[in-house]
Amino acid sequence: MSAPFIVAPHRVSCKAVTIEDIDRVLYDAEFMKELIKYPCVGLAHPQINDKDPLQFFITDIQLVINPIVLSHTDALIESDESCVTFPDYSPAVVERWLRIKVQYQTCDNNTLTIHVEELFGTEAIIFQHETDHLNSIYCYDKSLKEYHIIQ
């Protein structure tokens, strides 16, 4: 059974966050922090909003806005991934980039601040999983095992 307020899988595209969206981002992020207490390490806005989702996700430590993977090394890693949108599925086995360079924004004093950094291993996997959500891609779409979900 799904955690409360997690919406069914969908392919509604996410709008980039602008400064006008900050109040809504902060409000929804607070709400999402409560949901992340379910067994998960990240939650993307389209997982709770299938009407007008925005491009941000949260982890247990951070609010990540307008994330982009800028580049990656060639090394891949096989990752066993679960997703709270699919509580009844066994983990997907997904190939992820082991090391990525990313850009994203944070909200500090009601302004958006750009960050560029390199992520490795688990941090890189979480970033890719959650950024995929913002591009209407689920880990089960990329699974090396066979799954059939929504088109």
Cα–Cα distance measured from residue 67 to residue 85, given in angstroms and rounded to the nearest whole number: 20
* Under rule CB under 5 A, residue 125 binds Zn ion: no
* Closer residue to Zn ion, CB minimum distance, 48 or 83: 83
* Under rule CB under 5 A, residue 126 binds Zn ion: no
Tell me which of 17, 25, 83, 124 binds Zn ion, using CB under 5 A. 83
User: Which residue in the shown chain puts its C-beta closest to Zn ion?
Assistant: 83
Cα–Cα distance measured from residue 25 to residue 15, given in angstroms and rounded to the nearest whole number: 12
**Residue span 87-116 as binding mask against Zn ion, x where in contact by CB under 5 A, dash where not:** ------------------------------
Helices (H) and strands (E) in the chain, counts: 2, 7
Answer for the pair 57, 133: CB distance below 8 angstroms, yes or no: yes
Quote the longest CA-to-CA distance of the chain.
45
Min dist CB 85 to Zn ion, Å, is: 6
Q: Which residues bind Zn ion (CB under 5 A)?
A: 83
Which residue numbers are catalytic? 130
